[in-house]
Amino acid sequence: MFDKLILADKGNAISNEEVTISDKKAVAKSQPLETPDISTRRKPRRHRLLAIAGLVALIAILIVTGSIGYRAYQNHLMKEGMTDFGREMNTIATTGKVDSRIYSKDKYAVLERLTKERLTSVVSHKTTYIASLTQIKESLELGTYLADDPDLTKHSQNIEDTTKAAGYYFGMLKTFSDSFTGTKSQASSISYIQKALYKVAGVQNGQSLDDFLSVGRSSQENLENTSQQLFAFLKQNQNAWKIENGSVVFGSPALSQQYTTLKTNANSAVSKALSSVGE
């Protein structure tokens, strides 16, 4: 009996459960579907886009600011390098001495090195030319060139060597000067280099390089001409003179006078050639 009651209760419970489920389904069908709020979906996406845009803008600002700062730093270095370069060129323009050490920075360090290499080469060729002129001057004054070289072979070679040295020296100066071309921004550098070159070369104040070269070449040409005239005279009258106490002595007063005049002209030409290069 109790079993029947239990089974009956179970049956009723199942029936009731089925009714409940059926009722829920019916209610669900009778209620309208809720439409999702699209605006609530877009809000998070919009916030993300704004955040990304802000980040991109911040990065752009940092890049621009960094670029400006880098340019400012580079300009500072350039100005500092220019100052060092100008100071060193002014030192050379004052003393006429070329220091092999490099004091400038960045691209001005390269410019200083190249400039000093050229200036050193100019000094070297100038020294060779002056040494040749000095040797000729001393020989003419002492007259020993005739005692050691009566045929004037060695002395003629000295004149030829001096002519070559002059050609190298003046040619280098011209080439170096012709390289002084650039933009307005490079005008200061060129001005510094030019002053240093003029001092090293021996260009006088107020004298242009073209005038300096013209005077130097003219002086060298005059030296060649007066020396050739002197040598020709001595060879032509080789039996009319002799060496006494290191001096040339002619038996004829007229020939002695001609010799003195020619020798004076040659000595004067050597002195002018030395003076033309600042010696």
Report the pLDDT value the prediction gives residue 127, as an integer from 0 to 100: 94
Q: What 3-state class would DSSP assign to 100?
A: coil
Contacts of residue 101, defined as CB under 8 A and 6 or more positions apart, other chains included, come to none
Residue 8: pLDDT over 50 = no
Count of domains for the chain: 1
Average pLDDT, the chain: 77
Q: Flag whether 102 is in a domain.
A: yes
Residue 123: pLDDT over 70 = yes
pTM more than 0.75: no
Report the pLDDT value the prediction gives residue 137, as an integer from 0 to 100: 85
- For the stretch 214-266, pLDDT in tens is 999 999 999 999 988 998 898 899 889 888 887 888 999 999 999 999 999 99
Q: Flag whether 59 is in a domain.
A: no
Q: Flag whether 12 is in a domain.
A: no
Residue 6: pLDDT over 60 = no
Residue 51: pLDDT over 70 = no
Residue with tokens 């600011």: 65
Residue 17: pLDDT over 50 = no
Alpha-carbon torsion angle 209, 210, 213, 218, nearest 10: -150
Q: Flag whether 74 is in a domain.
A: no
Backbone angles phi, psi at 215, to 5 degrees: -65, -45
Supply the range of the domain harboring residue 197.
Answer: 88-276
Report the pLDDT value the prediction gives residue 10, as an integer from 0 to 100: 43
Q: Flag whether 20 is in a domain.
A: no
CB 235 within 8 A of CB 152: yes
Residue 179: pLDDT over 60 = yes
Report the pLDDT value the prediction gives residue 242, as an integer from 0 to 100: 86
Q: Flag whether 157 is in a domain.
A: yes
Residue 182: pLDDT over 90 = no
Q: Give me the mean pLDDT over the 2-19 stretch.
A: 41
Residue 109: pLDDT over 80 = yes
Q: Which two tokens stand for residue 154?
A: 């060695």
CB 215 within 8 A of CB 275: no
Confidence of residue 14 (pLDDT cuts 50, 70, 90): very low
Question: Using the 8-state DSSP alphabet, how is residue 151 labeled?
Answer: T
d(CA 245, CA 229): 24
DSSP-H helix ranges across the chain: 2-30, 38-95, 106-142, 144-148, 153-178, 187-201, 209-236, 253-276
CB 226 within 8 A of CB 266: yes
- For the stretch 132-173, pLDDT in tens is 999 888 877 766 667 777 777 888 888 889 999 999 999 999
Confidence of residue 105 (pLDDT cuts 50, 70, 90): confident
Q: Rg of the Cα trace of the chain? A: 50
d(CA 192, CA 203): 15
Residue 50: pLDDT over 80 = no
Residue with tokens 């000067």: 177
d(CA 77, CA 54): 34
Q: Flag whether 22 is in a domain.
A: no
d(CA 113, CA 99): 10
Report the pLDDT value the prediction gives residue 90, as an integer from 0 to 100: 93
Confidence of residue 196 (pLDDT cuts 50, 70, 90): very high
d(CA 47, CA 39): 12
Share of the chain above pLDDT 70, in %: 68
- Chain centroid to Cα 240, Å, comes to 60
| Of 79, 217, 142, 37, residue with least CA distance to 134 | 142
Q: Flag whether 24 is in a domain.
A: no
